[in-house]
Chains A and B, each alone.
Chain A
Amino acid sequence: MKRYNYLKGLRVFLAILFFVPILLFFVDFAGVLPNDVHTLLHIQLMPALLCGAAGIIVFQIVLALLFGRIYCSVICPAGVLQDVINRLFCIGKKKKKGIRRFKYHKAANVLRYSLLLITVVLGIFGFMGLAMLLDPYSNFGRIATNLFRPVVMWGNNILADLLMKMDNYSLYHVTVSTVTASGLIAAIAALLVFIVLVIFRGRLFCNTLCPVGALLSLVSRYSFFRISFDKDACTHCGNCEHTCKAEAINSKDLTVDTSRCVDCFNCISSCAKGGLQYRFKPFSKKEETAVDTIQATGKDNISYSANSRRTFLATTATVAVSMPIVSVLADEVSQGKGHRERKRNRNCNREQWPPITPPGSISLERFKDKCTACHICVVRCPSQVLRPAGLEYGFDYMLKPRLAYVSSYCNYECTVCADVCPTRAIMPLTKEEKATTQVGIATFFINRCIVKTEGTDCGACSEHCPTQAVHMVPYEGTLTIPSIDPDLCIGCGGCESICPVRPMRAIIIKANTEHKFVEKPKEEEVKKVEVDDFGF
């Protein structure tokens, strides 16, 4: 008797509903999708925690408390990606080798809650490295940005070439320019981890490494609706255990570890007898199950593990509750740190200039603390000027995007990166604010400038300056040479991106570690010009 079979179908349907738009949003290099899709990124738990979006955090906690970790199977793109990998692995295999290859393992509680605790503590002290490396959404973002997107772009180029032969230019050729070595390595590593873990141990990532999964597991173990055995219907065939990606079903003792269950409902589908059901199990019964689990799993593990787990639970639960204020705390801590660093910078060498952070990020320190390097800004930037950094700015800026004026610059009135940033590492800003935010200042090296070294006209920098902060002033003879008005410069990089001098350019943007505001260029009075003769 198969009951509740529609649950898996519903889960898959909802997962597609979330996953496909997010995936397309990342690979859409042409800006076809509206920027509103970024709403789906804001409901991701890690970004919500980082920007202190209380409403979303409460919603996710309540969702987990009511229905379990639906988040991990529906909302989280990394979770769905793992399901996709699993599905692809199963293609063409017999059931036993494909779908039914898992078996029950004990929960790696020490590992997962230690990682969660360390991530949170480090986060409070302003070191976001671990959160960045473990956050499932950001990992998905890096995979999509640095691996999937280039593949889509190459596909586009092949199609564009074919269409071009027929004089159809609805598709156009694109160059993959935003993928850096660090981004590529991070993406490949993450994808490999996902593939290997999924093939051998199902959702092990979600139940050991993932801080979001660990956080939700603290709530989901008390969830109202849960999967449990119907002891009368069960025939102890073990199908459910071998189907469970979370390896949370113990078919001998008839227990389901709700803290690890990701609500994929594969087990219910696998059971022909209706031996497993997703149903309302009141709060009181959870003690029993929990005790069951402990007895079942920890027989030879003595009471030590149970005790330590309880301590862990208490600590982590407290931490989880205080999560919304983590970001605020982190802000304060990092502000102090920022002061120290700035002092040090003043004393030390000035050769290595700090990275230029996107307009809206307010300051380098704040950006470091908020950005989890999901790379959505990198893919949405219409001028492809944002590039993930390597280790050149230190470990705490690794993989985070910087404005790299290699061959393009930041569009004068564009605010796309700020619009889409889910962690608010780049704060939303209006066009007017954007056009007056100074992320850096153009610095001119006259001894490298073509006008001086070659004695010929150039002016490429001034040509590209939207505010005419870089303007041409008389030099020798009819020659003109650039001059910079720092009160007008917003550091967009138009000048640097086009400067023809190599290897070192003659005009380079020096980052403001604290962004400043400049005056909008004064509107000149429009003079009416009357000309009624050609002049020749």
Chain B
Amino acid sequence: MKRRDFLKTSVVAGAALSLNFEGLQAALITNTVAVEQIPDMVAVMGGEPEVMLDKAIETLGGIGKYVKKGQKVVIKPNIGWDRSPEMAGNTNPKLVKALVQKCLAAGAEKVTVFDHTCDNWQKCYETSGIAAAVKEAGGIIMPGNDEKYYKEVSIPNGVNLKSAKIHEALVEADVWINVPVLKNHGGAKMTCAMKNYMGIVWDRRFFHQNDLQQCIADICTWQKKPVLNIVDAYRIMHQNGPQGKSAADVAVLKSLIVSPNIVAIDTAALKLFNQVKKLDMEAVSHLEKGENLKLGSTDLDKITIKRIKI
């Protein structure tokens, strides 16, 4: 045996010896292969927004699984109100910042952030801290204040809503990530991932005129679905939503839920909400309507959930 061959063999052998065969052994014993599966949903509690995001995305297979190199990415937070981050009126800017950074690190060509705000858009962008966060992270913050920015798309599977004008950044995007904040809502009863869709359309009056709950479910059937829904529950607004009056409306839960399944994530968010304030599933009827439109399941037993506490 030549010395080179000997070295090669011993390196291979050494590597083989250091391998852990516990999984294989277990599989052999139970006669099944337990490959570490990616869960349908990840819920994290107890950390700062960016830390929880790291954990969740890692568990879901890393950002590269969702955002590919050279893609145009849109992140859609809730920036509806002229409220500071402590008031929980908008998505946490730290979360948005970390997410923009992740997408850019995954090689995204550009990351655009916008919302069709309720209050004056410049004030919302500024007071929420999101405009600054996006700029710091190297993303683009785009206005959504004018009908000009919205393009007509058809919603073939909608019950009441058959077409809508959707922000062009989204229409042109390769992938998008839905990043709502969990809040009480005077009209829809709860606003989370599904309700956050109302910030991508121009004409919201139609929604209110034609059964708000049904239209929320309808708009979620738009063919371009978010690759991930990331629910910010670091601070939630448990009453007087969606705008809030004071700090008394806010509860700090330090939580984050991530899932591609929009109905399931809203169901989970509702259960988390119920830890603070009672809110019936029937009242938030866009969940059931969403399920009827095959957008996902309200039965959390049907999906795999990974729960992480930090």
Are the CB atoms of A457 and B120 closer together than 8 Å?
A: no
Known contacts A500-B208, A527-B248; A458 and B143 CB within 8 A of each other:
no
Select from chain B the residue with minimum beta-carbon distance to A467: B245
Which residue from B45, B188, B243 sits with its C-beta under 8 Å from A534? B45
Least Cβ–Cβ distance between A156 and chain B, in angstroms: 11
CA distance A468 to B249 in the complex (A): 12
Bound-state Cα–Cα, A501 to B209, Å:
7
Are B276 and A529 in contact, CB atoms less than 8 angstroms apart?
yes
Q: How far is the CA of A175 from the CA of B145 in the complex (A)?
A: 9
- In the assembled complex, the Cα of A485 lies from the Cα of B251 at a distance in Å of 26
CB-defined interface of A501-532 with B at 8 Å, one 1/0 digit per residue? 11000000000000000000101111101011
Does B38 count as interface, using CB distance less than 8 angstroms? no
A304 to B6, CA, bound (A): 131
Q: Contacting B242 at CB < 8 Å: which of A167, A172, A463, A533?
A: A463
Which of chain A's residues has its CB closest to B238's CB? Answer: A529
The verdict on A525 contacting B248 (CB below 8 Å), with A173-B143, A457-B212, A500-B209 known, is yes
Whether A534 contacts B140 by the Cβ 8 Å rule is: no
Is the pair A456, B120 in contact by a Cβ cutoff of 8 Å? no
Given A172-B145, A172-B146, decide whether A459 and B240 contact each other with a Cβ distance below 8 A.
no
CB contacts (< 8 Å) of B142 on chain A: these are 169
Asked if B187 contacts A459 (CB within 8 A), the reply is yes
CB-contact partner of B213 in A157, A456, A498, A536, under 8 A = A456
**Counting CB contacts under 8 A, is B159 at the interface?**
no
Do B185 and A463 touch (CB < 8 A)? Answer: yes
Question: Quick check: is B246 within 8 A (CB to CB) of the other chain?
Answer: yes
Known: A175-B146, A382-B123, A458-B208. A521 touches B245 (CB 8 A): yes
C-alpha spacing A534/B269, complex, angstroms: 9
Q: Which of A456, A462, A480, A536 contacts B211 (CB 8 A)?
A: A456
| Residue in A161, A175, A457, A533 with the greatest tally of chain B CB atoms within 10 Å | A457
Question: B207 — nearest CB in chain A belongs to which residue?
Answer: A500
CB distance from B170 to the nearest CB of A (A): 15
In the complex the two chains form, is A532's CB within 8 Å of B248's CB?
Answer: no
The B interface, classified by DSSP as helix, strand, loop or mixed, is: mixed
Give A460's nearest chain B residue, CB to CB. B208
Query: Any chain A CB within 8 A of the CB of B305?
Result: yes
- Residue interface bits A289-332, CB-to-B below 8 A is 1, else 0: 00000000000000000000000000000000000000000000
Interface residues on A, range: 35 or more
Quick one: CB contact mask for A449-493 with B, threshold 8 Å, 1 for yes? Answer: 010001011111011111110011000001010000000000000
Q: Establish whether residues A531 and B148, one from each chain, have CB atoms under 8 Å apart when the complex forms.
A: no
Contacts of A521 in B (CB 8 A): 245-246
Contacts of B187 in A (CB 8 A): 457-460, 462-463, 472
Identity of the chain B residue whose Cβ is nearest the Cβ of A458 in the assembled complex: B208
Is there contact, CB below 8 Å, between A526 and B82? no
The stretch of B14-22, B91-99, B220-228, B278-286 that contacts the partner chain = B278-286
CB pair B120–A524 under 8 Å, yes or no, is no
Whether the pair A462, B146 counts as a contact (CB closer than 8 A) is: no
Across-interface contacts of B205 in A (CB, < 8 A) = 498, 500
- Does chain B have a CB within 8 A of A180? no
A336 within 8 A of B: no
Name the residue of chain A whose CB is nearest to the CB of B242: A463
Rounded to whole angstroms, the CA-CA distance of A172 and B144 in the bound complex is 9
Q: Say whether A383 faces chain B, with CB atoms less than 8 Å apart.
A: yes
Contact of B307 among A167, A462, A534 (CB under 8 A): A534
Query: What's the least CB distance linking A534 to chain B, in Å?
Result: 5
Chain B residues, CB < 8 A from A472 = 186-187
Which among A467, A501, A533 has the highest number of chain B CB atoms within 10 Å?
A533
Q: Report the minimum CB–CB distance from A508 to chain B (whole Å).
A: 16
B147 CB to closest chain A CB (Å) equals 8
**Residue A55 lies at the interface, judged by CB distance under 8 Å to chain B:** no
Given that A523-B248, A534-B271 are known contacts, is A457 also in contact with B305, CB under 8 Å in the complex?
no
Question: Which A residues are CB-close (under 8 A) to B188?
Answer: 457, 459
Q: Are B120 and A167 in contact (CB under 8 A)?
A: no
Is the pair A463, B243 in contact by a Cβ cutoff of 8 Å? Answer: yes
A526 touches B146 (CB 8 A): no
Q: How far is the CB of A419 from chain B (nearest CB, A)?
A: 16
How far is B8's CA from A240's CA once the two chains are assembled, in angstroms?
107
Asked if B276 and A534 sit within 8 Å, CB to CB, the answer is no
User: Is the CB of A92 closer than 8 A to any CB of chain B?
Assistant: no
A333 at the interface (CB under 8 A from B): no
Q: Tell me the complex Cα distance, A263–B194, Å.
A: 68
Residues of A within 8 A of B186 (CB): 459, 462-463, 471-472, 480
Please tell me if the beta carbons of A524 and B246 are within 8 angstroms of each other in the complex.
yes
Residue B272 CB within 8 A of the other chain: yes
Give every chain A residue within 8 A of B122 (Cβ-Cβ).
Answer: 382
Q: Is the CB of B276 within 8 A of A531?
A: yes
- Given A464-B118, A468-B245, A534-B255, do A478 and B271 touch, yes or no (CB 8 Å)? no
A466 contacts B209, C-beta separation under 8 Å: no
Nearest neighbor of A459 in chain B, beta-carbon distance: B187
Residues of B within 8 A of A155 (CB): none
Q: B119 and A465: CB pair below 8 A? A: no
A535 to chain B, nearest CB (A): 4
B1 within 8 A of A: no
Say yes or no: B275 contacts A533, CB within 8 Å: yes
Interchain CA distance A450-B305 in the complex, whole Å: 39
Closest to B41 in A: A536
Residues from 230 to 272 in B contacting A, C-beta threshold 8 Å: 238, 240, 242-243, 245-253, 255, 267-268, 271-272
Q: How far is the CB of B67 from chain A (nearest CB, A)?
A: 18
- Asked if B149 lies at the interface with its beta carbon under 8 angstroms from chain A, I say yes
Output the nearest chain B residue to A411 by Cβ-Cβ distance: B120
Distance, CA A106 to CA B282, complexed state (A): 84
Instruction: Say whether A536 contacts B271, CB under 8 Å.
Output: yes
The answer to whether residues A535 and B272 also contact, given A411-B120, A460-B187, A478-B282 and a CB cut-off of 8 A, is: yes
CB distance from A354 to the nearest CB of B (A): 27
The answer for the CA separation of A97 and B300 in the assembled complex, in Å, is 86
In the complex, chain B residues 123-152 whose Cβ is within 8 Å of any chain A Cβ? 123, 140-143, 145-149
A411-450 CB mask vs B (1 if < 8 Å, else 0) is: 1100000000000000000000000000000000000001
CA distance A529 to B247 in the complex (A): 12
A172 and B143: CB pair below 8 A?
yes
What residues on B are CB-neighbors of A412 within 8 Å? 82
Determine which of B147, B208, B248, B274 lies in contact with A450 in the assembled complex, contact meaning CB atoms within 8 Å. B208
Residue of B nearest to A499 (CB): B208
Are A167 and B82 in contact, CB atoms less than 8 angstroms apart? no
A173 touches B148 (CB 8 A): yes
Q: At the interface, yes or no: A174 with Cβ under 8 Å from chain B? A: yes
Q: For residue B102, which residues in chain A have a CB less than 8 angstroms away from its CB?
A: none
Whether the Cβ atoms of B185 and A535 lie closer than 8 Å is no
| Docked CA distance A534–B276 (Å) | 11
In the assembled complex, which residues on chain A have CB atoms less than 8 Å from the CB atom of B208? 450, 458, 460, 500
- Which residues of B in the span 54-73 have a Cβ within 8 Å of any Cβ on A? none
Which chain B residues border A466 with CB–CB below 8 Å? 243, 245
- A sample of 9 inter-chain contacts (CB < 8 A) reads A174-B145, A174-B146, A382-B120, A457-B189, A457-B212, A466-B243, A527-B248, A531-B276, A534-B272
Extra contacts, 18 of them, besides A411-B123, A529-B252, A533-B275 (Cβ < 8 A), are A161-B148, A167-B110, A169-B140, A411-B119, A456-B213, A457-B187, A457-B211, A459-B212, A472-B186, A498-B205, A521-B245, A523-B246, A524-B246, A524-B248, A529-B253, A532-B45, A534-B45, A536-B272
User: 6 nearest interchain CB pairs?
Assistant: A459-B187, A524-B248, A500-B208, A529-B251, A459-B186, A462-B186
